[in-house]
Amino acid sequence: MIIHTSHESEFLARNMLDDSAEHDLYVYVPPGYDDSDRRYATAVLLHAFGESAATVVSPDATGERWRPPIEDVLDPAFGRMGVPPMIVVIPDGNCRWGCGQWIDSPVSGFFGSYVAQDVVSYVDANFRTLPVAASRGVFGFSSGGMGAWNVVSQNADVFSAMAVLSADTFLDMTHKVFTYKFFNSIWPEPPNGPVDDDWSAMVYAYSAAYAPNPDNPPFFVDLPVAWPSGELIQDVWDRWLRNDPVENYRERLDNLRKLSGILLDAGSRDNYELQWGHRVLHHRLTEAGIAHDFTENPGNHGGRANERLQFALTWLGQVLQHE
């Protein structure tokens, strides 16, 4: 059963895009929840760019890629697949330009703190959770996978495990080209904010998260590529890289060592080549002595997403503490 509520947060109110402080919040309670007084581990599901909490729960059935409601993904996991029952929390991470990337930004909002503080405290106060870090994990796909990494690796006192699925990482290889694709789509006109185009939405949403600049109106971001020369602006790009798992793991080693589990999973045929970021991160974590699980599947970017969510829940069921 999924319970829909809305949640107002001071962390989300702190944005420069005039977005509402009130966002959807969905909470899945497992079969048998209403028939017992049992307490449950909590798994927080962070959605990808281009999605919302609402579209995860009830996907659009008219597009080319049909996806079932999330309840049809979760019920089998806690039923025939035998995963220990958990509460699954689905917060909304959208800003005006797309996903807020689940990190703190004065422009798009403080989404990382929202998840780690407000969402956790709200769910603990209103549902029968096991309110300890050992019984909390985060999982997500694509931008949600990067969010799982950044939220958990900065809040090891709140969460003990993360399942990182086809995450945005190794930005030097995978994301540097995005701004050039955006510039190609508007050439020869100069950039002037998000337009009705996927590349512009991604570039401005990512820049609002990774390189916010409250002193640069009207969009309050620094783009990482100069117009029209095409030169990379290295100091801006370095700000993007500070959010990249293959880079920021170094400053978070103490937190990473506290965790009960880290899962890296990606498709070997990812459309954005994100499997290479996972491979690099796997190599660097191994060299640093950070215990983790590393898997690849034969999928592309998104084609096996629901299967991988079930895989992540199975894994979380093994590494989290249950009653």
What are the distances in angstroms from CA 65 to CA 59, 144, 303, 320?
10, 19, 9, 32
pTM of the full structure: 0.96
Cα 157 from chain centre? 19
**pLDDT for res 208:** 97
Convert the chain into a string of H (helix), E (strand) and C (coil): CEEEEEEECHHHHCCCCCCCCEEEEEEECCCCHHHCCCCEEEEEEECCCCCCHHHHHCCCCCCCCCCCCHHHHHHHHHCCCCCCCEEEEEECCEECCEECCCCEECCCEEHHHHHHHHHHHHHHHHCCECCCHHHEEEEEECHHHHHHHHHHHCCCCCCCEEEEECCCCCHHHHCHHHHHHHHHHHCCCCCCCCCCCHHHHHHHHHHHHHCECCCCCCCCECCCECCCCCCECHHHHHHHHCCCHHHHHHHHHHHHHHCCEEEEEEECCCCCCHHHHHHHHHHHHHHCCCCCEEEEECCCCCCCHHHHHHHHHHHHHHHCCCC
**pLDDT for res 196:** 77
Question: In 3D, which of 194, 123, 207, 202 has the Cα closest to residue 158?
Answer: 123
Query: Splitting the chain (323 residues) into consecutive groups of 10 residues, what average pLDDT does each group show?
Result: 94 96 97 94 96 92 75 95 97 95 97 98 98 98 97 98 97 96 95 88 96 97 98 98 98 98 96 96 98 96 91 98 96
**pLDDT for res 302:** 84
